[in-house]
Chain A
Amino acid sequence: MSPFFVITGIVTLLGAAFAMSLRNLVHCALAMAVAFSGIAALYLQLDAQFVGFAEILVYVGAIAILIVFAILLTRSGEAPEKSVLTSGWMAGIAVSAMVFTMLGWAVLNSSAIPKETSPAPVATVRNVGDALMTRFVLPLEIIGLVLTAAMIGAVIIALKEDSQKSKSEDGGQQ
Protein backbone atom coordinates (compact mmCIF):
# COMPACT_ATOMS: atom_id res chain seq x y z
CA MET A 1 0.00 0.00 0.00
CA SER A 2 1.43 3.31 -1.06
CA PRO A 3 1.17 6.34 1.25
CA PHE A 4 -1.05 8.12 -1.34
CA PHE A 5 -3.51 5.25 -1.19
CA VAL A 6 -3.61 5.42 2.62
CA ILE A 7 -4.13 9.20 2.62
CA THR A 8 -6.92 9.16 0.03
CA GLY A 9 -8.53 6.23 1.81
CA ILE A 10 -8.53 8.07 5.13
CA VAL A 11 -9.92 11.23 3.49
CA THR A 12 -12.68 9.23 1.82
CA LEU A 13 -13.63 7.45 5.04
CA LEU A 14 -13.60 10.73 7.00
CA GLY A 15 -15.79 12.36 4.38
CA ALA A 16 -18.24 9.50 4.52
CA ALA A 17 -18.27 9.54 8.34
CA PHE A 18 -18.91 13.30 8.41
CA ALA A 19 -21.62 12.95 5.75
CA MET A 20 -23.47 10.67 8.17
CA SER A 21 -22.83 12.44 11.44
CA LEU A 22 -22.80 16.22 10.91
CA ARG A 23 -25.87 18.14 12.03
CA ASN A 24 -26.28 20.60 9.21
CA LEU A 25 -27.54 18.81 6.11
CA VAL A 26 -25.64 21.08 3.71
CA HIS A 27 -22.42 20.23 5.55
CA CYS A 28 -23.31 16.57 5.13
CA ALA A 29 -23.75 17.07 1.40
CA LEU A 30 -20.39 18.85 1.12
CA ALA A 31 -18.71 16.09 3.15
CA MET A 32 -20.23 13.61 0.73
CA ALA A 33 -18.69 15.55 -2.17
CA VAL A 34 -15.33 15.10 -0.41
CA ALA A 35 -15.99 11.37 -0.14
CA PHE A 36 -16.88 11.21 -3.85
CA SER A 37 -13.66 13.01 -4.78
CA GLY A 38 -11.71 10.58 -2.59
CA ILE A 39 -13.31 7.61 -4.34
CA ALA A 40 -12.44 9.18 -7.70
CA ALA A 41 -8.81 9.57 -6.54
CA LEU A 42 -8.79 5.90 -5.52
CA TYR A 43 -10.08 4.88 -8.94
CA LEU A 44 -7.38 6.96 -10.62
CA GLN A 45 -4.69 5.28 -8.50
CA LEU A 46 -6.04 1.93 -9.68
CA ASP A 47 -5.59 3.11 -13.32
CA ALA A 48 -9.34 3.13 -13.88
CA GLN A 49 -9.25 6.54 -15.55
CA PHE A 50 -12.66 6.55 -17.15
CA VAL A 51 -14.47 5.54 -13.97
CA GLY A 52 -12.45 8.09 -12.00
CA PHE A 53 -13.32 10.99 -14.31
CA ALA A 54 -16.94 9.91 -14.60
CA GLU A 55 -17.10 9.81 -10.80
CA ILE A 56 -15.94 13.45 -10.57
CA LEU A 57 -17.99 14.66 -13.54
CA VAL A 58 -21.23 12.97 -12.49
CA TYR A 59 -21.08 12.67 -8.71
CA VAL A 60 -19.13 15.77 -7.63
CA GLY A 61 -20.25 18.00 -10.49
CA ALA A 62 -23.90 16.97 -10.75
CA ILE A 63 -25.20 14.69 -7.97
CA ALA A 64 -23.71 16.70 -5.09
CA ILE A 65 -25.14 19.92 -6.54
CA LEU A 66 -28.51 18.21 -7.05
CA ILE A 67 -28.58 17.03 -3.42
CA VAL A 68 -27.64 20.48 -2.17
CA PHE A 69 -30.40 22.05 -4.26
CA ALA A 70 -32.92 19.50 -2.96
CA ILE A 71 -31.95 20.34 0.63
CA LEU A 72 -32.22 24.08 0.03
CA LEU A 73 -35.56 23.81 -1.73
CA THR A 74 -37.21 21.52 0.80
CA ARG A 75 -36.13 22.93 4.17
CA SER A 76 -34.54 25.98 5.66
CA GLY A 77 -30.84 25.74 6.36
CA GLU A 78 -31.23 25.61 10.15
CA ALA A 79 -29.52 22.75 11.94
CA PRO A 80 -31.71 20.48 14.06
CA GLU A 81 -31.63 21.11 17.83
CA LYS A 82 -31.45 17.49 18.81
CA SER A 83 -28.52 15.17 18.34
CA VAL A 84 -28.44 13.44 14.99
CA LEU A 85 -28.00 10.09 16.71
CA THR A 86 -31.20 8.35 17.82
CA SER A 87 -31.42 6.75 21.22
CA GLY A 88 -30.86 3.24 19.92
CA TRP A 89 -27.57 3.92 18.18
CA MET A 90 -25.65 1.33 20.24
CA ALA A 91 -27.98 -1.42 19.11
CA GLY A 92 -27.76 -0.12 15.55
CA ILE A 93 -23.96 -0.36 15.54
CA ALA A 94 -24.10 -3.87 16.99
CA VAL A 95 -26.59 -5.04 14.36
CA SER A 96 -24.68 -3.47 11.46
CA ALA A 97 -21.40 -4.94 12.73
CA MET A 98 -23.02 -8.38 12.84
CA VAL A 99 -24.42 -8.01 9.32
CA PHE A 100 -21.03 -6.83 8.07
CA THR A 101 -19.22 -9.81 9.60
CA MET A 102 -21.77 -12.21 8.13
CA LEU A 103 -21.51 -10.69 4.66
CA GLY A 104 -17.73 -10.51 4.84
CA TRP A 105 -17.52 -14.13 5.90
CA ALA A 106 -19.88 -15.18 3.12
CA VAL A 107 -17.96 -13.23 0.48
CA LEU A 108 -14.57 -14.54 1.59
CA ASN A 109 -15.73 -18.15 1.61
CA SER A 110 -17.69 -17.92 -1.61
CA SER A 111 -16.67 -20.21 -4.44
CA ALA A 112 -17.80 -17.64 -7.05
CA ILE A 113 -14.64 -15.59 -6.55
CA PRO A 114 -11.48 -17.14 -8.01
CA LYS A 115 -8.83 -17.46 -5.33
CA GLU A 116 -5.79 -16.55 -7.46
CA THR A 117 -5.96 -12.97 -8.71
CA SER A 118 -5.78 -12.58 -12.47
CA PRO A 119 -3.42 -9.92 -13.92
CA ALA A 120 -5.00 -6.47 -13.87
CA PRO A 121 -6.81 -5.81 -17.17
CA VAL A 122 -5.78 -2.74 -19.14
CA ALA A 123 -8.81 -0.45 -19.17
CA THR A 124 -7.80 2.80 -20.82
CA VAL A 125 -10.43 5.31 -21.83
CA ARG A 126 -9.93 4.22 -25.44
CA ASN A 127 -10.70 0.56 -24.56
CA VAL A 128 -13.82 1.56 -22.67
CA GLY A 129 -14.96 3.65 -25.64
CA ASP A 130 -14.27 0.84 -28.11
CA ALA A 131 -16.18 -1.65 -25.98
CA LEU A 132 -19.13 0.74 -25.64
CA MET A 133 -19.28 1.32 -29.39
CA THR A 134 -18.88 -2.32 -30.49
CA ARG A 135 -19.82 -5.06 -28.07
CA PHE A 136 -22.05 -3.07 -25.73
CA VAL A 137 -23.62 -0.76 -28.30
CA LEU A 138 -27.12 -2.17 -27.77
CA PRO A 139 -27.20 -1.69 -23.97
CA LEU A 140 -25.78 1.80 -24.50
CA GLU A 141 -28.56 2.68 -26.95
CA ILE A 142 -31.21 1.23 -24.63
CA ILE A 143 -29.87 3.25 -21.70
CA GLY A 144 -29.94 6.34 -23.90
CA LEU A 145 -33.56 5.63 -24.82
CA VAL A 146 -34.57 5.05 -21.19
CA LEU A 147 -32.86 8.26 -20.10
CA THR A 148 -34.55 10.23 -22.90
CA ALA A 149 -37.91 8.80 -21.83
CA ALA A 150 -37.19 9.77 -18.22
CA MET A 151 -36.22 13.28 -19.30
CA ILE A 152 -39.40 13.72 -21.37
CA GLY A 153 -41.37 12.42 -18.39
CA ALA A 154 -39.72 14.97 -16.11
CA VAL A 155 -40.53 17.78 -18.56
CA ILE A 156 -44.15 16.63 -18.76
CA ILE A 157 -44.50 16.56 -14.97
CA ALA A 158 -43.08 20.07 -14.83
CA LEU A 159 -45.42 21.24 -17.60
CA LYS A 160 -48.61 19.75 -16.11
CA GLU A 161 -48.48 21.81 -12.95
CA ASP A 162 -48.06 24.96 -15.00
CA SER A 163 -51.09 24.29 -17.23
CA GLN A 164 -53.26 23.41 -14.21
CA LYS A 165 -52.29 26.63 -12.53
CA SER A 166 -53.18 28.67 -15.61
CA LYS A 167 -56.49 26.77 -15.87
CA SER A 168 -57.37 27.55 -12.28
CA GLU A 169 -56.42 31.15 -12.87
CA ASP A 170 -58.75 31.23 -15.87
CA GLY A 171 -61.52 29.70 -13.70
CA GLY A 172 -60.98 32.40 -11.11
CA GLN A 173 -61.37 35.12 -13.68
CA GLN A 174 -64.62 33.72 -14.97
Chain B
Amino acid sequence: MFDKLDQIFVTALHWLVSYVPEMLRPVVSAMICIAFVMAVFPGVFAITTVLERKILGRIQNRYGPNRVGIPFTKIRLCGFGQFIPDGIKSLTKEDIVPRAADKVVHFLAPVVMLIPVLVSYAVLPFGKHMTITDYDAGLLFFFAVGGAVEVSVFMAGWSSRNKYSLLGAMRAIAQMVSYEIPLILSAVTVVMVVGSLNLSEIVKHQNNYTFGIAHWHVFTPWGLVGFVLFFIASLAESNRTPFDLPEAESEIIAGYFTEYSGFKFALFFLGEYLGMFAIIGLGITLFLGGWTSPVSFLTWIPSYVWFLSKLMAIVFVFIWIRGTLPRLRMDQLMNFAWKFMLPLALINILVAGIWHYMAADWQRWLVCSAIIFGAYAILGRGLMQNQNFGKRIYRYAE
Protein backbone atom coordinates (compact mmCIF):
# COMPACT_ATOMS: atom_id res chain seq x y z
CA MET B 1 0.00 0.00 0.00
CA PHE B 2 2.84 2.35 0.85
CA ASP B 3 4.45 1.46 -2.46
CA LYS B 4 1.27 2.54 -4.24
CA LEU B 5 1.23 5.80 -2.31
CA ASP B 6 4.87 6.32 -3.22
CA GLN B 7 4.17 5.84 -6.92
CA ILE B 8 0.80 7.64 -6.97
CA PHE B 9 1.97 10.45 -9.26
CA VAL B 10 3.70 8.08 -11.68
CA THR B 11 0.59 5.88 -11.82
CA ALA B 12 -1.63 8.93 -12.33
CA LEU B 13 0.57 10.10 -15.20
CA HIS B 14 0.44 6.70 -16.91
CA TRP B 15 -3.33 6.55 -16.40
CA LEU B 16 -3.85 10.04 -17.88
CA VAL B 17 -1.55 9.39 -20.82
CA SER B 18 -3.30 6.10 -21.65
CA TYR B 19 -6.41 8.06 -22.71
CA VAL B 20 -4.72 9.96 -25.55
CA PRO B 21 -3.86 8.47 -28.96
CA GLU B 22 -0.50 6.72 -29.31
CA MET B 23 1.03 9.44 -31.46
CA LEU B 24 0.45 12.29 -29.00
CA ARG B 25 1.60 10.39 -25.91
CA PRO B 26 5.16 11.77 -25.58
CA VAL B 27 3.93 15.34 -26.05
CA VAL B 28 1.04 15.00 -23.58
CA SER B 29 3.27 13.28 -21.03
CA ALA B 30 5.83 16.10 -21.33
CA MET B 31 3.07 18.70 -21.00
CA ILE B 32 1.74 17.11 -17.80
CA CYS B 33 5.26 16.98 -16.32
CA ILE B 34 5.82 20.66 -17.20
CA ALA B 35 2.47 21.56 -15.63
CA PHE B 36 3.50 19.63 -12.50
CA VAL B 37 6.74 21.60 -12.15
CA MET B 38 4.99 24.88 -12.95
CA ALA B 39 2.37 24.19 -10.27
CA VAL B 40 4.45 22.72 -7.47
CA PHE B 41 7.53 24.91 -7.33
CA PRO B 42 5.89 28.33 -7.68
CA GLY B 43 3.54 27.03 -4.97
CA VAL B 44 6.52 26.24 -2.77
CA PHE B 45 7.84 29.71 -3.64
CA ALA B 46 4.59 31.31 -2.48
CA ILE B 47 4.70 29.47 0.84
CA THR B 48 8.40 30.27 1.25
CA THR B 49 7.90 34.02 0.89
CA VAL B 50 5.44 34.01 3.81
CA LEU B 51 7.57 31.58 5.78
CA GLU B 52 10.65 33.72 5.25
CA ARG B 53 8.91 36.85 6.50
CA LYS B 54 7.50 35.03 9.50
CA ILE B 55 10.81 33.40 10.46
CA LEU B 56 12.73 36.65 9.99
CA GLY B 57 10.10 38.35 12.14
CA ARG B 58 10.57 35.72 14.83
CA ILE B 59 14.36 36.13 14.70
CA GLN B 60 14.05 39.91 14.93
CA ASN B 61 11.56 39.71 17.80
CA ARG B 62 8.47 40.94 15.92
CA TYR B 63 5.36 39.29 14.48
CA GLY B 64 5.74 39.26 10.72
CA PRO B 65 2.66 38.85 8.48
CA ASN B 66 -0.23 37.39 10.51
CA ARG B 67 -3.38 39.08 9.15
CA VAL B 68 -4.35 37.74 5.73
CA GLY B 69 -6.57 34.70 5.79
CA ILE B 70 -9.79 33.81 3.99
CA PRO B 71 -11.73 36.97 3.02
CA PHE B 72 -15.09 37.79 4.73
CA THR B 73 -14.39 35.32 7.52
CA LYS B 74 -12.40 35.50 10.71
CA ILE B 75 -10.09 32.67 9.67
CA ARG B 76 -6.56 34.07 9.47
CA LEU B 77 -4.48 30.96 8.65
CA CYS B 78 -1.63 32.48 10.71
CA GLY B 79 -1.04 34.93 7.85
CA PHE B 80 -0.29 32.22 5.29
CA GLY B 81 -2.69 33.84 2.82
CA GLN B 82 -0.27 36.73 2.45
CA PHE B 83 1.16 35.53 -0.88
CA ILE B 84 -2.23 35.93 -2.64
CA PRO B 85 -2.53 39.72 -2.11
CA ASP B 86 1.21 39.99 -2.82
CA GLY B 87 0.73 38.25 -6.15
CA ILE B 88 -2.38 40.27 -7.05
CA LYS B 89 -0.55 43.46 -6.14
CA SER B 90 2.44 42.73 -8.37
CA LEU B 91 0.11 41.66 -11.21
CA THR B 92 -1.92 44.86 -11.12
CA LYS B 93 0.86 47.37 -10.53
CA GLU B 94 1.94 49.69 -13.29
CA ASP B 95 4.84 48.43 -15.36
CA ILE B 96 7.31 51.32 -15.41
CA VAL B 97 10.09 51.29 -17.99
CA PRO B 98 12.70 54.06 -17.74
CA ARG B 99 12.72 56.39 -20.75
CA ALA B 100 16.41 55.83 -21.38
CA ALA B 101 16.11 52.06 -21.03
CA ASP B 102 16.79 49.67 -23.84
CA LYS B 103 13.16 48.55 -24.22
CA VAL B 104 13.59 45.15 -25.88
CA VAL B 105 16.44 43.93 -23.68
CA HIS B 106 14.71 45.33 -20.60
CA PHE B 107 11.60 43.33 -21.48
CA LEU B 108 13.45 40.12 -22.29
CA ALA B 109 15.71 39.98 -19.20
CA PRO B 110 13.19 38.50 -16.71
CA VAL B 111 12.06 35.96 -19.30
CA VAL B 112 15.62 34.91 -20.05
CA MET B 113 16.15 34.56 -16.30
CA LEU B 114 13.14 32.33 -15.70
CA ILE B 115 13.45 29.92 -18.65
CA PRO B 116 16.83 28.30 -17.84
CA VAL B 117 15.84 28.03 -14.18
CA LEU B 118 12.63 26.18 -15.10
CA VAL B 119 14.45 24.01 -17.64
CA SER B 120 16.95 22.89 -14.99
CA TYR B 121 14.13 21.14 -13.10
CA ALA B 122 13.92 18.63 -15.95
CA VAL B 123 16.73 16.46 -14.60
CA LEU B 124 16.07 16.58 -10.85
CA PRO B 125 14.72 13.34 -9.33
CA PHE B 126 11.82 14.47 -7.12
CA GLY B 127 11.02 10.93 -6.04
CA LYS B 128 11.35 7.28 -6.93
CA HIS B 129 10.91 7.06 -10.75
CA MET B 130 9.95 10.75 -10.69
CA THR B 131 12.59 12.28 -12.94
CA ILE B 132 11.11 14.14 -15.90
CA THR B 133 13.95 13.31 -18.28
CA ASP B 134 16.26 10.64 -16.96
CA TYR B 135 19.22 12.05 -18.77
CA ASP B 136 22.61 10.32 -18.90
CA ALA B 137 24.49 13.58 -18.39
CA GLY B 138 21.97 15.20 -16.06
CA LEU B 139 24.51 16.96 -13.87
CA LEU B 140 26.26 18.50 -16.88
CA PHE B 141 22.87 19.59 -18.23
CA PHE B 142 22.03 21.31 -14.94
CA PHE B 143 25.27 23.29 -14.82
CA ALA B 144 25.17 24.16 -18.53
CA VAL B 145 21.64 25.53 -18.29
CA GLY B 146 22.52 27.54 -15.18
CA GLY B 147 25.16 29.40 -17.17
CA ALA B 148 22.47 31.33 -19.05
CA VAL B 149 21.32 33.07 -15.86
CA GLU B 150 24.40 35.31 -15.92
CA VAL B 151 23.43 36.61 -19.35
CA SER B 152 19.99 37.58 -18.07
CA VAL B 153 21.46 39.38 -15.06
CA PHE B 154 23.70 41.35 -17.36
CA MET B 155 20.77 42.13 -19.67
CA ALA B 156 18.72 43.47 -16.76
CA GLY B 157 21.54 45.55 -15.32
CA TRP B 158 22.75 47.01 -18.58
CA SER B 159 19.41 47.75 -20.23
CA SER B 160 18.08 49.75 -17.27
CA ARG B 161 20.61 52.56 -17.88
CA ASN B 162 20.99 53.04 -14.18
CA LYS B 163 24.29 53.07 -12.35
CA TYR B 164 22.94 51.02 -9.46
CA SER B 165 21.58 48.39 -11.85
CA LEU B 166 24.88 48.14 -13.68
CA LEU B 167 26.86 47.97 -10.43
CA GLY B 168 24.55 45.25 -9.16
CA ALA B 169 24.88 43.28 -12.40
CA MET B 170 28.68 43.54 -12.32
CA ARG B 171 28.75 42.36 -8.72
CA ALA B 172 26.33 39.53 -9.48
CA ILE B 173 28.32 38.29 -12.46
CA ALA B 174 31.65 38.46 -10.63
CA GLN B 175 30.13 36.56 -7.73
CA MET B 176 28.41 33.93 -9.87
CA VAL B 177 31.52 33.27 -11.97
CA SER B 178 33.69 32.97 -8.84
CA TYR B 179 31.40 30.68 -6.90
CA GLU B 180 30.46 28.49 -9.83
CA ILE B 181 33.94 26.95 -9.73
CA PRO B 182 33.81 25.59 -6.14
CA LEU B 183 30.18 24.61 -6.81
CA ILE B 184 31.09 22.42 -9.77
CA LEU B 185 34.30 21.11 -8.20
CA SER B 186 32.48 20.02 -5.05
CA ALA B 187 29.94 18.19 -7.23
CA VAL B 188 32.75 16.48 -9.14
CA THR B 189 33.68 14.39 -6.07
CA VAL B 190 30.26 12.72 -6.18
CA VAL B 191 30.66 11.98 -9.89
CA MET B 192 34.08 10.43 -9.19
CA VAL B 193 32.79 8.12 -6.48
CA VAL B 194 29.50 7.14 -8.14
CA GLY B 195 30.95 6.97 -11.64
CA SER B 196 27.93 8.50 -13.33
CA LEU B 197 26.57 11.91 -14.27
CA ASN B 198 23.02 10.59 -14.11
CA LEU B 199 21.24 12.06 -11.08
CA SER B 200 18.94 9.03 -10.58
CA GLU B 201 22.04 6.84 -10.57
CA ILE B 202 23.62 9.08 -7.92
CA VAL B 203 20.53 8.73 -5.71
CA LYS B 204 20.47 4.97 -6.24
CA HIS B 205 24.08 4.79 -5.06
CA GLN B 206 23.06 6.35 -1.74
CA ASN B 207 19.98 4.15 -1.26
CA ASN B 208 21.70 1.44 0.84
CA TYR B 209 21.61 0.99 4.59
CA THR B 210 24.19 -0.21 7.14
CA PHE B 211 22.92 -0.65 10.72
CA GLY B 212 19.76 1.14 9.60
CA ILE B 213 21.58 4.31 8.53
CA ALA B 214 21.64 5.39 4.90
CA HIS B 215 24.82 5.66 2.82
CA TRP B 216 24.38 9.35 2.12
CA HIS B 217 27.47 11.01 0.76
CA VAL B 218 27.34 13.62 3.49
CA PHE B 219 28.23 10.90 6.01
CA THR B 220 31.74 10.50 4.54
CA PRO B 221 34.68 12.91 5.06
CA TRP B 222 34.82 14.06 1.42
CA GLY B 223 31.03 14.21 1.27
CA LEU B 224 30.78 16.41 4.33
CA VAL B 225 33.36 18.87 2.98
CA GLY B 226 31.75 18.69 -0.46
CA PHE B 227 28.33 19.39 1.00
CA VAL B 228 29.52 22.36 3.07
CA LEU B 229 31.33 23.81 0.04
CA PHE B 230 28.29 23.19 -2.15
CA PHE B 231 26.01 24.75 0.44
CA ILE B 232 28.10 27.93 0.73
CA ALA B 233 28.50 28.20 -3.04
CA SER B 234 24.77 27.71 -3.56
CA LEU B 235 24.10 30.50 -1.05
CA ALA B 236 26.30 32.71 -3.20
CA GLU B 237 24.82 31.50 -6.49
CA SER B 238 21.31 32.33 -5.34
CA ASN B 239 22.39 35.77 -4.03
CA ARG B 240 21.35 35.08 -0.47
CA THR B 241 22.75 36.71 2.67
CA PRO B 242 25.69 36.85 3.51
CA PHE B 243 26.44 36.93 -0.23
CA ASP B 244 23.68 39.36 -1.20
CA LEU B 245 25.99 42.07 -2.49
CA PRO B 246 24.36 42.10 -5.95
CA GLU B 247 21.14 43.38 -4.42
CA ALA B 248 22.45 45.01 -1.25
CA GLU B 249 19.50 47.22 -0.34
CA SER B 250 21.48 49.65 1.77
CA GLU B 251 24.07 50.27 -0.95
CA ILE B 252 22.61 49.87 -4.43
CA ILE B 253 18.82 49.83 -3.87
CA ALA B 254 17.97 46.45 -5.40
CA GLY B 255 20.91 45.79 -7.69
CA TYR B 256 20.22 44.66 -11.21
CA PHE B 257 16.43 44.79 -10.89
CA THR B 258 16.24 48.29 -9.42
CA GLU B 259 14.38 49.59 -12.50
CA TYR B 260 11.82 46.80 -12.62
CA SER B 261 8.31 47.10 -11.31
CA GLY B 262 5.06 45.21 -11.33
CA PHE B 263 5.03 41.75 -12.75
CA LYS B 264 8.55 41.87 -14.18
CA PHE B 265 9.84 42.44 -10.67
CA ALA B 266 7.76 39.47 -9.51
CA LEU B 267 9.28 37.38 -12.31
CA PHE B 268 12.79 38.22 -11.10
CA PHE B 269 11.76 37.36 -7.57
CA LEU B 270 10.25 34.09 -8.76
CA GLY B 271 13.29 33.28 -10.90
CA GLU B 272 15.63 33.87 -7.99
CA TYR B 273 13.68 31.64 -5.61
CA LEU B 274 13.14 28.90 -8.20
CA GLY B 275 16.87 28.97 -8.91
CA MET B 276 17.48 28.59 -5.20
CA PHE B 277 15.12 25.61 -4.97
CA ALA B 278 16.73 24.00 -8.02
CA ILE B 279 20.24 24.31 -6.65
CA ILE B 280 19.14 23.07 -3.20
CA GLY B 281 17.42 20.16 -4.95
CA LEU B 282 20.69 19.36 -6.71
CA GLY B 283 22.58 19.56 -3.40
CA ILE B 284 20.07 17.19 -1.80
CA THR B 285 20.41 14.79 -4.72
CA LEU B 286 24.19 14.84 -4.65
CA PHE B 287 24.91 14.72 -0.93
CA LEU B 288 21.75 14.22 1.13
CA GLY B 289 20.46 11.09 -0.56
CA GLY B 290 17.86 12.70 -2.82
CA TRP B 291 14.49 11.12 -2.13
CA THR B 292 15.83 8.35 0.15
CA SER B 293 15.11 8.24 3.86
CA PRO B 294 17.94 8.70 6.39
CA VAL B 295 17.06 5.59 8.43
CA SER B 296 15.79 2.27 7.13
CA PHE B 297 12.69 2.06 9.35
CA LEU B 298 11.26 5.22 7.77
CA THR B 299 11.46 4.01 4.16
CA TRP B 300 7.66 3.64 4.04
CA ILE B 301 7.25 7.45 3.89
CA PRO B 302 6.75 8.40 0.21
CA SER B 303 9.91 9.50 -1.58
CA TYR B 304 8.55 12.87 -2.75
CA VAL B 305 7.69 13.72 0.87
CA TRP B 306 11.32 13.15 1.79
CA PHE B 307 12.54 15.29 -1.09
CA LEU B 308 10.22 18.18 -0.27
CA SER B 309 10.91 18.04 3.47
CA LYS B 310 14.67 18.07 2.89
CA LEU B 311 14.16 21.00 0.51
CA MET B 312 12.14 22.93 3.07
CA ALA B 313 14.64 22.11 5.85
CA ILE B 314 17.50 23.60 3.83
CA VAL B 315 15.36 26.59 2.83
CA PHE B 316 14.79 27.11 6.55
CA VAL B 317 18.57 27.08 7.15
CA PHE B 318 18.96 29.63 4.34
CA ILE B 319 16.40 31.90 6.02
CA TRP B 320 18.05 31.36 9.39
CA ILE B 321 21.42 32.41 7.93
CA ARG B 322 19.75 35.46 6.40
CA GLY B 323 18.46 36.45 9.81
CA THR B 324 21.81 35.87 11.49
CA LEU B 325 24.79 36.87 9.37
CA PRO B 326 25.75 40.34 8.15
CA ARG B 327 26.71 41.01 4.53
CA LEU B 328 30.30 40.38 3.40
CA ARG B 329 32.48 42.99 1.76
CA MET B 330 33.43 42.52 -1.90
CA ASP B 331 37.09 41.74 -1.14
CA GLN B 332 36.10 39.27 1.59
CA LEU B 333 33.75 37.61 -0.88
CA MET B 334 36.43 37.19 -3.53
CA ASN B 335 39.15 36.16 -1.05
CA PHE B 336 36.89 33.53 0.42
CA ALA B 337 36.04 32.05 -2.99
CA TRP B 338 39.51 32.01 -4.49
CA LYS B 339 41.79 31.56 -1.49
CA PHE B 340 39.75 29.20 0.65
CA MET B 341 36.95 27.43 -1.19
CA LEU B 342 38.75 26.71 -4.45
CA PRO B 343 41.87 25.11 -2.84
CA LEU B 344 39.72 23.17 -0.39
CA ALA B 345 37.54 21.90 -3.25
CA LEU B 346 40.66 20.76 -5.15
CA ILE B 347 42.04 18.98 -2.07
CA ASN B 348 38.62 17.42 -1.57
CA ILE B 349 38.81 15.92 -5.07
CA LEU B 350 42.14 14.35 -4.08
CA VAL B 351 40.58 13.02 -0.87
CA ALA B 352 37.68 11.53 -2.83
CA GLY B 353 40.22 9.74 -5.03
CA ILE B 354 42.06 8.36 -1.98
CA TRP B 355 38.73 7.29 -0.47
CA HIS B 356 37.82 5.47 -3.66
CA TYR B 357 41.06 3.49 -3.88
CA MET B 358 41.70 2.65 -0.21
CA ALA B 359 40.24 -0.48 1.36
CA ALA B 360 36.90 0.08 3.07
CA ASP B 361 37.91 0.04 6.74
CA TRP B 362 38.69 2.56 9.50
CA GLN B 363 42.08 3.52 8.02
CA ARG B 364 40.60 5.43 5.12
CA TRP B 365 38.41 7.38 7.52
CA LEU B 366 41.53 8.34 9.46
CA VAL B 367 43.64 9.29 6.41
CA CYS B 368 40.88 11.25 4.65
CA SER B 369 39.81 13.12 7.80
CA ALA B 370 43.45 13.97 8.62
CA ILE B 371 44.08 15.43 5.14
CA ILE B 372 40.87 17.47 5.29
CA PHE B 373 41.52 18.80 8.81
CA GLY B 374 45.10 19.73 7.88
CA ALA B 375 43.99 21.49 4.70
CA TYR B 376 41.21 23.30 6.53
CA ALA B 377 43.57 24.53 9.27
CA ILE B 378 46.27 25.71 6.86
CA LEU B 379 43.84 27.40 4.46
CA GLY B 380 41.99 29.03 7.32
CA ARG B 381 45.24 30.41 8.73
CA GLY B 382 46.16 31.70 5.27
CA LEU B 383 42.83 33.48 4.97
CA MET B 384 43.17 35.09 8.40
CA GLN B 385 46.70 36.33 7.77
CA ASN B 386 47.39 40.08 7.85
CA GLN B 387 43.94 40.81 9.16
CA ASN B 388 43.31 42.34 12.50
CA PHE B 389 40.33 40.80 14.20
CA GLY B 390 40.65 42.84 17.36
CA LYS B 391 38.04 45.06 18.90
CA ARG B 392 36.42 47.26 16.32
CA ILE B 393 36.88 51.00 16.68
CA TYR B 394 34.08 53.24 15.46
CA ARG B 395 35.66 56.48 14.37
CA TYR B 396 32.57 58.64 14.26
CA ALA B 397 30.22 56.99 16.67
CA GLU B 398 32.10 57.78 19.86
Contacts and interface: CB of A to CB of B under 8 A. Distances in A.
A56 B120 CA distance: 13
Given A30-B105, A53-B140, A125-B136, A60 B155 contact: no
A33 interface: yes
B158 A65 contact: no
Interface residues of B, number: 20
A92 interface: no
B148 A77 contact: no
A65 B154 contact: yes
B143 interface: yes
B148 A60 contact: yes
A125 B140 CA distance: 9
Given A56-B144, A56-B145, A49 B136 contact: yes
Contacts of B105: 27, 30
B151 A30 contact: yes
Given A27-B105, A65-B173, A57 B143 contact: yes
A64 B151 contact: yes
Interface string A5-44: 0000000000000000000101100100100010000000
A65 B177 contact: yes
A64 B155 CA distance: 12
Interface in A73-120: 77
B52 interface: no
B140 A77 contact: no
A37 B116 CA distance: 12
A61 B144 CA distance: 8
B158 A56 contact: no
Given A57-B144, A61-B148, A124 B136 contact: yes
A60 B151 contact: yes
Interface in B137-161: 137, 140-141, 143-148, 150-151, 154-155, 158
Interface of B: 102, 105, 136-137, 140-141, 143-148, 150-151, 154-155, 158, 173, 177, 197
